Structures are given as structure tokens and as C-alpha cells.
Structure 1
Amino acid sequence: MKDGAKAAQHADVRIEAVRLGWDGIWKPGFWTPIWVTLSGGRKGGSGELVVTAPDSEGALCEYPLGRVRVNSNERRTVESLVRLGRMGAAVTVEWRLEGGPALRRRMASKRSLFGTAAAGPSLEQPVVLQIGAEPIAENRPGGASGGIYWVTITDPESLPRNPESYQMASAVILTTGTDARFRERSASCGEVWRGLREWVASGGRLVLSVDESAADLFAPGGPLDWAVPGGLAGSIRLRKTAALETYAESPRPLVVRRGEPFLKAVQVPGFQGIVAAKEGNIPLVLRRQYGFGTVVLCTVDLSHRAIREWSQKHRLLERLLDRTEMHGGEVGEQRTLMHHGFNDLSGQLHAALERFPGVTFVPFSTVAILLGVYFVLVGPLDYLILGRYLPDRRWTWLTFPVILVVVSALAWKLGEAWKGRGVLVNEVGLLDYDLEGSRARSIAWANFFTPRAGLFDVRPNAEYLDALGLRPASASVGWFASPGRGLGGMAGASLDFGESVGNYTVRIAGPEAELLGLPVAAKATRAVFTALEGPTENPLLATDLSDRQQLLDGTVTNRFSFALDDAVIVYRGWVYFVGRLEPGASWRPRVGEDRRELRSWLNDRRVETVGEGVQQQSRQVVAPYDRSSRDPWYILRMMLFYRAAGGDGYVRLWNAQYAYLDATDWLENGRAILLARADLDTSKGAVAVRPRGAGSQPPRQESLTYVRAALPVRGAEGGSLAQGAE
């Protein structure tokens, strides 16, 4: 911290402490909570708090935390969000005084998610946040923990209030246990649980393990009543554990020693969802859809000593987290990076958006040939022409600059022809819609190319949002980059431009978000994203779907203001082909409707016949995932059904950056999913990129938007996706 003498004349405010992430744990590319503690001293003061952190390319990005007033002798903590883009990045916190210089505190990251196992897991490693009085798992990299990195928070009051703060978590496990002090603290953390609730509704996964002593937390009006509707209604002794062992696929029994408390299962009569495991008529594991997310309820206390000491505990935790299908081994990171430059699906999407119409990639061989022609012109050819046609070689003082000017003009013309004259924007967007909760979410990724260096402003496009019928309650905007150690990846070598390219600003305030003054070099690209979420004023779809002997029955009506192209509906592991659905049109499955098994659709599995006559045989052939594809829809579809397609075992790429977009949980929660391309004007998208400067022309934009909707189905039982193939 640097306190100047001039600063002391204007205020007595000090930056006492800065806390980043969950107990110091954070990941590049994810929204991370930050707490700044200020001390008012004898005089107090008013000023603006600003956090500065490097983005994925090393440029410095400012995140204003707002104007704060600190009274004399007051100690105040401000919580906000920040995104760091580099490994080992340093964060600078500034208190910009009114009428005076700034106070600064620079903090280097200590426990961030990169490097050796002692410092934290890798960027690709899933992180699970456990909230509870006692840890239920420990970190054993490469061991029986399944590669999960566990972060345990025992004090709920230290948790962030902002829902985006949990974005890094693959899942959150809340274990109430029997600790009275933990329950007392939890009862006073209403803002924390509201933030967690919004995160789950936005696509998070919450696993609950409760004890009947925590009934007040889940009772109507309690801080967690949304998680278990109807609350807890006592418990019943669990005399057998065979169902729990079967659910965990455990080869060894769960043993409760003599003298230990009995295992009990809480009763939740109001929990409407899918029963994933039960012992007789006692539900042990239940799950239900909550917005775009999932709530999994384990009615047995995971902090019970018998479970904590069970050698197969990791199997049970992996089932609750749905991590069992993800053990496809290493994805061949070095080989993937060598050939493609990325090891995550988000990196492939980033690469796909870097292809612009009218912008030609110039190979080095072409540049070498042009340089060779230039050297021939100014050297041997100029010498021969002067020797043959002109008696005095002093004319070279004229011919040389003429050749130089002509070649320079040709180079400039070729540069414009190959790289274009205006700003180009490629965008792909996703509109998620939860029909039951009347909630919509728009996420868009854009990559733009500029032939000239300049500053750019990025905002959500209000006109586009009106066309979708979305009224956002929250919004965010920022840079978009690929994780991993490939070229331009967040785990690659730091470029650290510092202040040489100028700082830019990201402002987020409820439904408003903007990125201001983003510096971009000449003939370079920059990738950004926007994310918005909120309720919908009117239903965008109308459905009356039911489960008829594991087949889909009923109708779906399009109430969007635009047509839905190439629409499909996925249910119980089957894909129903809808085609084009005009506004106001309805679709109903017919008897014998053409459908295809979901994994076959995702993996392009087909039957081939080999041999002839009596030796003729049929075999199934699965097309390998094409990591060289630059088709945004091909990539996005795999991101949306990653686990259903086979996870990293099939794709051979991670899906760490946008794991919350995977809709496999929706299917297992008994939902049907509509997926289609929106028939919208492709020259307008969710991301509005505007160059600064007088006379700047608006960019030429190419945008694709896809719609995905979670549809409730009466009588749905959920279950494994494999049921569709049986």
C-alpha cells in the first residue's frame, strides 16, 4: 500500500484488507468475489473504489465498485466482482479521492487455481464448494477423489452475496449436519442464500444433505425454503443401506458401528421431483429442476461418521455430482494443443468466430514471394535496366524511390483487399427459456476484426433483446478467451502489456452493463461476450406435453415473434424432428414419428453393412468428434449436451468454461428440450460493438441465434439417458 503525503491531506481513509475468491481460491475467466475493507480513520472520506486486473491478453481492465462514503472511525467492507485473465495475475485496488490523488493497494495472487497441486488444481479440474460445519471430502489429486478439487467453507457468513460469485463451481454441496452453531449462523445469512438461489436458477447444481435438526432453515419463510418446498417432516431410521450402496455402485457395504447414531432419512413430502434412489418406500436421493439449474436432495446426512469413514464415499459423492461419466482419462492436452491450439470447447468456439468473410489469411510463403519480387526489382532488375537503357547509373536516385513508392502503394492495396476496410463482427448467441418459471437467459459470444487500431465500446443490443421478448434483470459483459495453455489461452505465458495500451472499463449495475474503451491493435481481433437474464412478460411457448409409456405426447406452440428453424425436441434420450415452426404454429408427435436416439444424433452413430451373402454383418460406427471443425452450431450443440454425448471420453476436449450450459441434467430431471435456430435478421445480434472516433462506420455483423427451452412434461420420471436406447 502506498500512502502519499498529499492523500493524507484530503482524507484519512485506509485500505485495510483485500480478500479475493473463496478462501483465496479463484480461476481465470470466471467472475470472482472480492471484498475490500476500508477504515475511515479520524476524518473519513468519500471516493470511488476501482479494482484493476489484467485480461486474457495482459491489458488492464478496470472494474469500478462504485462511490463509497466512509465515516470517521468506521470500518466498512465492500463486496463486488472481478474477472482475472492471466495466471499469477496481480490485482490493484484504488481508492480515488474526491479532489485528491488515489490510494493504492496491490495484491499478488497466492492461492489461485493453477500450477502444482499444492497451490490448487488445474484450470480444467472441476471445483466443488462444500458449505458445512465439517468437511466431507479431501483433495487427493489423481486419486480416488475423481479429480475433483474441494473447497470447504465452514462459516456461511463469509460467503459472497452475488450469484455470479459461484460461477466457478461445478456444484455446491450444502451439508447442514447437527452443528447448532452452523445452523444459527445460516439462519442469519438471508442475502447469502438468496445469491445461491439465483445461481442455481441460472444453471447451477446444488446438492443438499440435511438433518432434521435443520428443519427451521427449510420451513416456509425460512432462508432455504425454496430448496425443499414444504420443508422437512421428521425422519425415519434407515435399517438397510443396500439401495444407497447400489446407487453409489459400491462393491463394499456401508457399515454403521455399534454405539454410533443410527443413519436416518429425513422425510420431504412436499418435494416434487424425480426419485433417483430409494430404500423400499423411503426416498434417499431426489432431484428436481429449479430454473435452469438442478437441486439434488440426499435425505441422509453425508456428514454422518459412518459415511465420512466409508471407503466408497467418493463413489457416492461422484454420483450425487454426476461425475461418474467423466472419467474418460486425460484428453491428450499436449496433442490437442499442438494440432488445434486449444483444449476446451470454448477455445474451439473462439477459433470458429475468428473466420471473417472478406478477410484472407496470408500464408508466409506468399509474403516471402512478394519480398523476393521486391528485392529483385530494387536490385538486379534496376541494375540491368539502368545499364541497358540509361547511360548514367546516377538515375538510380530516381528509379529507386519510384519503385519504393509503387511497391508500397501495391502493398497497401493488397492489405486492404486481403484484410478489408471496415470492422467485422462474428457472433453466435443462445437464448435459454424456462417455460415453467417464465425465465429467459441470453448468452452471446462475438469476435470482431478491425483493420485499424482504435478503441471500442461493447454493450448488449437493446433492439435485439426486444425482438426476443427479454426484459433483463441482470446483465454482464466482458472479454472472452480460451482456457488452457494454447496460443492466446489464459494459462499461457503472460503478455502483460500493462498501461502501454491504456486501461479500459467494465461496468455492471443490475440490468445495465457496458465495456468502454477496449483497445484493439490494427488488423487484430478481440473476443467479447454478453450475458443477460430476467423474467419474460408473456409466454414465449405454449405446451401441453405428457409422458405416454416413455414416449412424448401433446403439443408445442411457437409464441415467439419469429420462426424456429430446424427445430428438434429431445426427451428421454430420444430426438424428435420438428422442422420449421412458424409463429403461432403447433407441433404434435404422431404415431410412428421419425425419431433418433440422442447419443446417435450427437455422435453421428450409424449402422454399416460389411461382407456379402451369408457373411454379411452389420456394425455400428461412431463418427469421432471433429476438433478441427469451425462450424459454430456443431460446437455449440456439443457444449449444450456435453455429458449426454459422452463427455471428454468422446469429445476429447474439456467443457470447463461453460459447464453450466450442459442440459443433460434437464433431461434427467424429466424435462423435454426444444432446440432450434431463430429466424432473425443476421445483421443484428445481442452484442453491439461500436468503434470510437468521429466518422467511424458501424461494423458489419453476421449473427446466428439458437433457442433452447426447458419444457415440463406431465408424468415424467426422468432417469438415465440410456433408457431411450433400450
Structure 2
Amino acid sequence: MRFEAVGCRQAAGERTSPLRIGTWLQAVAVAILGLVLSGCGGSSADRDFGGALTIKLGDEGRVQVGEWNPISIQAAKPPAKAVHPEVIAADPDGLPVRFLLPDFKDGVSRGRFLIGQISSPIRVEFVPSETPDAAPIHTVTLSERNSDLRFLKPDVRLWGIFEPDTGLRSAIDKFVEELRDAKGADASSPVEVRSVSPTQPGDFDGLDALFVGADTLRNLAYGAGQTGDALKSWLARGGQLEVIARGAPADYDAPAVKDWFPIQVDAQSAPIRFRDLVILSQGVNRGLLRTPREGTPGVRMTASTGRVLATSLDGDLLMRAPYGQGSVTMLAINSDEPPLRDWDGLPALLAGQVDYDVKRETARQRTNLNPTGISDLQTQVLRTTNQFPEVSRPSYWSSLGLIVVAFLVIGPVDYFLVHHLLRRPHWTWFTLTAWVALLTFVGVSYANRTSGTVPLANQVEIVDIDETLHRVHARSWFTLYSPESQRVDITVDPDKTWPVRDIRDREVRWSGRPEAGFRGMHRPGGLSSGEAGYTLREGSDGASMIEAFPLRAGSTCDIESSWSGTLDEAQVAGELEGDLKSRFQGQFKVNLPGPLTDWFIAYGRFAYHAPLERRAFGIMTLKPGTCVDIKDLQAKMLGDYLTGVISTSQFRKNRVDSDYVFTRETYDPTGIEPYDIFKMISFYRAAGGKNFVTLTNGPVMGLDRSGVVSNGHAVLFGRLEIPASQLTVKDASPKLTAETFVRVVLPVRQIETDFSFPAPPK
């Protein structure tokens, strides 16, 4: 059998060591054994595949740690019998995790997998489908040494570009090269570019932004294999779609695009010509963009909700509109034609469409000394879920004290006992054995008492309710604690108290810390054949589950889950209107399954919360059916509200004038209060990012809703008593403690502020 892996090669500089006599004898024995076996029917691998295998991992060999990565396996000749591949990759603890891929169809098998440690090898086994418990007929191990595998950290941004789009690809690649040059040759780039296929819905997994032309967007929307639905689902969950105006007018009028695209393009009238493009040069810090005398052709754009990023006397040049919890940004002129094509600032302009600040992102990539061991918000989330007050672990000083007591007992105490009290020094052989047995019994009993007797579980989750699209998406983090070693099956389902239907995208997986320390995803790892692994399997209903997960006595494990669905009824209904500046008015009614506490609304640059003096009116806790008027709320700058800015006035010595003093809270990266953590996760950029939080938001970057409130929608954030996800652990019923946070995206009708003077009185 011949095997070909993409980029598979011998490492440069490696030499074959000379074989010794013993090695020659072993080689001859293996050859004879191979001839005997081949005479009995030949190699099963050759018989089943009959040719070469091509394995494609990630995107051109780039695999992101902690995120789903695609894998494609192609056989030159379809196997004679049903065979399915199984991908085995390490989780953050180093345990081998098995991902089952479908059987070969037309010689191809596609799927996805997770990897939890940097530089960990990936093993692919080919197993007969009729006897899945049998030994694999062929095994391939891929690593950085024998292939072009390259591992990306979770905080690396992935930008997708449609495969034939060479113009956009060259511009974005140029921007990425400039980032690498600015950081140094040995530094990793904070941005990677991935090619996207219109026929594979899974290509959108893990993408932060997608750049397409208007003509390409039509092909994506009409793509086979539910690609159009996958594109809209990815966008509604927080994706950023960047569209370049080009192609025929029919591309904008296509029903597959027009029915959902939030920006309306006038495809009936003649194209307009922009004669002033200088505004696109602002903030790019490149050469001035000059406009030809005859102007540059473009399209006319309008949006009922959103904001204009760049405009001219001829029309809007750059516009952004929300779609669910994501955003769509459109450039009114073609970037593949002059003058944009020849402009040095085009790469930076395209990067700016996804709110990418080079200075901010480069600063967050710097590695600083971190004495707390916590550098990311997800690490802080998992630190919160790992708190079990029922399990009272002894401190280090207590353990050290017990060791000192043991030494004193088997040393001076035993000596005094046998020499001075019993006066039988030779009895020390019996007393020492008794002391050791007694101390062992006491230690085991104390450990069992402090380890607890019942399994425990902590759950924190964030539920996104999108009233603009009537969708709901939940993401949960679980930490399981077991007083005994056992293997369990784990599933997560939506709670029945929530009115959700058409449940999809249900998955459960391990969760890891983006750190270089213990249980961290940034530390190099490997696959251990002796470790007890488990399987991530996709059920018949499309929901994934964990099979045979090993729970160790007195230890914890971290699990993460997510699911999406459609709401049967509105959870928050109302009529709101605003202008993204200072006006925000209207009413809304809450119909959530339970009361909402510690809530506030973010819209534009302001946060609206219930004033303390209205605590008696029942507005601090929103019970189902409560109606709230925006005019009854207190407004505060969103950044000041998130960072706890307080202004106090102090009289001067003359007792007439006063000075105002502003103080700001300090965020505690070691804190374990879930409300503070998820408030920062939800509005990370609005709070100042790493400048205030002092932590990155790599794996939870997609949960930042700062862009939603600045693009025309309002977000209601609060704490809910009823969880949206239900954890099921087979053969174990852990005692569950849950914290649920809700973010409701509310549509806001955009109004124009009238700055004209009133008419003079008659």
C-alpha cells in the first residue's frame, strides 16, 4: 500500500543511522513474517484501499488548538468493504480522544476534530465498519516532524476568503505579511487566512470574518449542502461578513440574498459615480487615495438599521448593518479595479472593516510575566466552575503539618515508647508496623472524608436570545467532580422549561485553558497509548455526546457544550427606537421563563439601568410579564458603567466652588464572581479590552457583543435563575449548581435626529 500525506516529508538534516547486526536480524525476521502473512491472502490495507491516501488536516496544514478543524481523507481507489476513519487527538489533559468519521463515499470521507495541546501528534486509524471493535487495518500518525502541520493558538483570528477570489486573497495576504514583519520574523501572526468552499458548510466553523464579493455571495447563498443556511447561522451567532460591491445587478436581486441581506442595494437604477474617495484614507495611515476625474463607479446602499462608516457627497461608501448578533459590512466600490486595486492602503482598509486595530491586537499578543497563571477570560471561567465548597481540601500547610506529625510519631514518640515506657527496644519492629498502619488508616479516612461522598457538578452558561431572528443559542461550561473513579457517558440537552423547537447544532466537548501551565492548551503534548481515552460521537439525531469519559477519584474535568434553536414565542417584546447617539425610547415586556436580576440594557454608547430609588417599584427584578419604559431608567456611559467609574464632588476651601474626582474600579483577574466575568466577556471591547480587564478573550472572542450595540441593536443583559441546558451523566447523578446569564438582542427602529431650527412664530 502507498500512503501520501499532504506535505509529508523527511525532516531536513535527518540522516539514517547505521544498522547494527541485531537490527539486521530483526529486519530479516520481520520480512520473513511479512512474506508468510502475504502468502495467506495479502495486506488487508492494500486489499481495501488499493492505492494512495491523501489526508488534508485543517486549512493547508494549519490546525487551531481548542477549535474545530476540518479533515478530509481521499482514497485513490474506493475500499472494497465499508471502512471508516477515526481521528485520535489529545485533549488538554493528554488523554486520547477518538472522533468518528463517516464511511468513504466516492472515495472521500470528511469530518472534523479537536486537538487540545500544541505540537501533539494526530493519529488516523481505518476501522472496518462491520466490526468497529476490531483492530484497525491501517494507522497513520501525523506530526510536525513528518508533515506540514502547523499549530495555531486559540486567540489567532481566522479570516475566510472564497477560493477563486484572488483579488481579495492577495490584499488580505499582504496585510498578514505586514503584521508578521511588524512583529518580527520569529513571532506568530495574530491573523491567519483560510480558503472557504461554497459546498462545505463546515468551512465556516471557527471563522471570525468572511470576505466575499457580491457575485460570490450569491454562489454561497445558493450553494449545495445547506451552505446558505450554514452561512446565515454562522453570521447570526456573531460572525462578521465583509462584502465588496461587484458583479451584475442580478446578484443583489437574487432571492437567496435579497430575502435576508440587511443592506439594500438599488440594482434598478444606473450605477453612481463617486468623485471623492479621500474619506477612505482616514485612519489607514497610507498614501492618499486619489479619485479619477471621471469618478469611480459604485452602488447605492441603504439600511433600515445600522450605521454609515464612510460617506461622500455622491453617496455612502462604507456601511455596516447588524444581522442577528453578527454584522454585515459593505464597500460600495469594487476593490479589484482602480483606484482601490493600486492603493497601498487597501489591505488596512479591508482589515478595518472587521474592527481590527493593529496597535491594539499587536499589544495583546505580547507575552508578559503573569504571576497569577491566568491570562485569558476562559481560564477565569473554568476557575469559577472548579470551586466546590462541599469539598474541603486541606491546605499545603496542613499537609506539611501532618507529615511532620507522622515523622514525630514514628521517630521520637516511638523511641520514647519502647525505650522508656515499655523498656523493650526490640519491640520497635512491632510498634513501627502498628504506627505505619494507624497513620495509613488515618490518612485514607481523612482523604475520604475531605473528598466527599457524592458526585458534584458546577455549571455556568450564557444564553443568547435574538428577537430579530427569533433564535436562541446557549453555550455552557461544566466542571464535574467525582469521589470515585468511573467511566460515564455525557450528554447535554435544552431544558424543557424553555419554549424552543427545531433544536440543532447540539454538541458537547472538552473545555481547555489557553495557558502554558497545568491543563493548558499552550503546552506541548503528545499521545500516550497507555492512557484511557474516550470518544466524541455524533448521534442519529445530529447531537454529539461523550462516551466512556474517565472520571478519576478526587479529580475534576471540564466540559463545554452548545446548542441552537428557534423560539416558539418572543421572550422580550416591545417597540424601541433610537439614533445610536443620545436618543433611546420605547417600552419592552419580559416573558422569560424566570425572573431576571442584575440587568441593564446597552445601546449605542450608553447603558440603561434601574436607579436604586426605584427598587421598591419592582423594576430591579424583572419578573415574567413586567413592562419597562426606557424613560424610567437611568442612563450612563457604557464604558463608565462597565468599569465602575464613580464621580464625587469635593468643595474647595471657599465652600463655594467644587472639584469633581473620578475613580474607576480595578478588575480582579483572580475573581470567581460569574456575573463580573460574563459582563466582561459580553462587552469586552466596550470596557476597554485588555487595558481594563488585563486578560485576553481568545476562545470567547466570538461572545463579545460590543459591536452589536454600536451597529443599531440593543442588548439586554442579566442573570436568570432557570438554566437553559440540562446535563445528563449516565450512571451518575451529580449534584448540580448552575448560574445562567441571558443576553437578549432587541431590534431598535432607527430614527433621524432633527437638528433644524424651529420655524419662527407668526
Q: What TM-score range do you get, normalising by the shorter chain?
A: 0.7 to 0.9
- Cα pair distance change 1:323/1:8, threshold 3 Å: closer
2:698 corresponds to: 656
Matching residue within 93, 97, 110 for 1:79: 110
SS in 2 for 1:534: strand
SS in 1 for 2:593: coil
2:205 pairs with 1:172: no
Measured after TM superposition, the shift of residue 317 of structure 1 is 2.6
Query: CA RMSD for the aligned pairs?
Result: 3.2
Matching residue within 720, 735, 747 for 1:678: 720
Measured after TM superposition, the shift of residue 700 of structure 1 is 1.3
Measured after TM superposition, the shift of residue 685 of structure 1 is 6.6
Partner Cα distance (2:696, 2:514) in 1: 10
SS in 2 for 1:321: coil
Task: Please show how residues 251-330 of structure 1 align to structure 2 within 5 Å.
Answer: 252-256=287-291, 263-268=296-301, 273-324=306-357, 327=360, 330=363
- State the identity as a percent: 20
Matching residue within 244, 257, 273 for 1:209: 244
Partner Cα distance (2:148, 2:625) in 1: 54
Matching residue within 617, 633, 640 for 2:682: 640
2:75 corresponds to: 38
Q: Look up the equivalent residue of 1:51 and give its one-letter code.
A: V
Instruction: Please say if residues 678 and 705 of structure 1, whose CA atoms lie closer than 8 Å, have aligned partners that are also in contact.
Output: yes
- C-alpha distance after superposition, 1:656-703 (max 9, x if no partner): 2111111111111211111111122xxx772525264xxx5x111110
- Cα pair distance change 1:430/1:351, threshold 3 Å: same
2:253 pairs with 1:219: yes
2:602 corresponds to: 570
- Cα pair distance change 1:156/1:167, threshold 3 Å: closer
- C-alpha distance after superposition, 1:257-316 (max 9, x if no partner): 79xx95322234577643232212512112222122111111122333433442333442
- C-alpha distance after superposition, 1:50-86 (max 9, x if no partner): 22211122111111123x255xxxx432322211111
Task: Please show how residues 462-611 of structure 1 align to structure 2 within 5 Å.
Answer: 462=494, 464-467=495-498, 469=500, 471-494=502-525, 496-507=527-538, 511-547=542-578, 550-578=582-610, 579-590=620-631, 593-609=633-649
2:200 corresponds to: 160
Partner Cα distance (2:376, 2:522) in 1: 12
1:705 corresponds to: 740
Q: Look up the equivalent residue of 2:521 and give its one-letter code.
A: M
1:625 corresponds to: 667
Query: Gaps (5+ residues) in structure 1?
Result: 115-120, 719-726
- Cα pair distance change 1:466/1:377, threshold 3 Å: same
- Cα pair distance change 1:369/1:496, threshold 3 Å: farther
Range moving further from structure 2, 195-204 or 603-612: 603-612
Partner Cα distance (2:366, 2:646) in 1: 29
Measured after TM superposition, the shift of residue 530 of structure 1 is 0.8
- C-alpha distance after superposition, 1:442-480 (max 9, x if no partner): 110111222322223221144x25446465222111011
- Cα pair distance change 1:257/1:264, threshold 3 Å: closer
TM-score, with length taken from structure 1 = 0.86
SS in 2 for 1:26: strand
Q: Look up the equivalent residue of 1:104 and give its one-letter code.
A: T
Partner Cα distance (1:34, 1:215) in 2: 37
2:225 pairs with 1:197: no
Partner Cα distance (1:142, 1:87) in 2: 20
- Cα pair distance change 1:580/1:701, threshold 3 Å: same
Instruction: Please say if residues 305 and 749 of structure 2, whose CA atoms lie closer than 8 Å, have aligned partners that are also in contact.
Output: no
SS in 1 for 2:597: strand
Partner Cα distance (1:404, 1:607) in 2: 64
- Cα pair distance change 1:333/1:147, threshold 3 Å: closer
Measured after TM superposition, the shift of residue 365 of structure 1 is 2.5
- Cα pair distance change 1:341/1:303, threshold 3 Å: farther
Measured after TM superposition, the shift of residue 108 of structure 1 is 2.5
Instruction: Please say if residues 57 and 496 of structure 1, whose CA atoms lie closer than 8 Å, have aligned partners that are also in contact.
Output: no
Q: Look up the equivalent residue of 2:254 and give its one-letter code.
A: P
- Cα pair distance change 1:256/1:346, threshold 3 Å: same
1:668 corresponds to: 710
- Cα pair distance change 1:186/1:353, threshold 3 Å: closer
SS in 1 for 2:171: coil
Instruction: Please say if residues 67 and 154 of structure 2, whose CA atoms lie closer than 8 Å, have aligned partners that are also in contact.
Output: no
Q: Rg larger in 1 or in 2? A: 2
SS in 1 for 2:416: helix
Query: Gaps (5+ residues) in structure 2?
Result: 4-37, 611-619, 754-762
Partner Cα distance (1:113, 1:343) in 2: 23
- Cα pair distance change 1:654/1:303, threshold 3 Å: farther
SS in 2 for 1:491: coil
Partner Cα distance (1:60, 1:650) in 2: 38
Q: Look up the equivalent residue of 1:679 and give its one-letter code.
A: E
Matching residue within 26, 39, 42 for 2:63: 26
2:125 pairs with 1:94: yes
Partner Cα distance (2:57, 2:104) in 1: 22
- Cα pair distance change 1:81/1:8, threshold 3 Å: closer
Q: Look up the equivalent residue of 1:219 and give its one-letter code.
A: D
2:501 pairs with 1:460: no
Matching residue within 73, 82, 89 for 1:53: 89
1:425 corresponds to: 457
Partner Cα distance (2:508, 2:306) in 1: 34
Measured after TM superposition, the shift of residue 325 of structure 1 is 8.3
Q: Look up the equivalent residue of 1:304 and give its one-letter code.
A: E
- Cα pair distance change 1:151/1:613, threshold 3 Å: same
Partner Cα distance (1:55, 1:262) in 2: 56
Partner Cα distance (1:317, 1:389) in 2: 88
1:390 corresponds to: 422
Partner Cα distance (2:416, 2:116) in 1: 56
Instruction: Please say if residues 460 and 530 of structure 1, whose CA atoms lie closer than 8 Å, have aligned partners that are also in contact.
Output: yes
Q: Look up the equivalent residue of 2:396 and give its one-letter code.
A: F
2:99 corresponds to: 63
Measured after TM superposition, the shift of residue 710 of structure 1 is 0.3
- Cα pair distance change 1:128/1:12, threshold 3 Å: closer
Instruction: Please say if residues 499 and 568 of structure 2, whose CA atoms lie closer than 8 Å, have aligned partners that are also in contact.
Output: no
Measured after TM superposition, the shift of residue 489 of structure 1 is 1.5
- Cα pair distance change 1:224/1:126, threshold 3 Å: farther
Partner Cα distance (1:618, 1:506) in 2: 60
- Cα pair distance change 1:7/1:251, threshold 3 Å: closer
Matching residue within 438, 444, 447 for 1:415: 447
- C-alpha distance after superposition, 1:35-63 (max 9, x if no partner): 1213445x732133322211122111111
SS in 1 for 2:708: helix
Measured after TM superposition, the shift of residue 123 of structure 1 is 4.3
Partner Cα distance (2:311, 2:272) in 1: 13
- Cα pair distance change 1:616/1:410, threshold 3 Å: farther
SS in 2 for 1:654: coil
Partner Cα distance (2:658, 2:362) in 1: 35
Partner Cα distance (2:565, 2:218) in 1: 32
Instruction: Please say if residues 15 and 39 of structure 1, whose CA atoms lie closer than 8 Å, have aligned partners that are also in contact.
Output: yes
Measured after TM superposition, the shift of residue 2 of structure 1 is 8.6
- Cα pair distance change 1:148/1:12, threshold 3 Å: closer
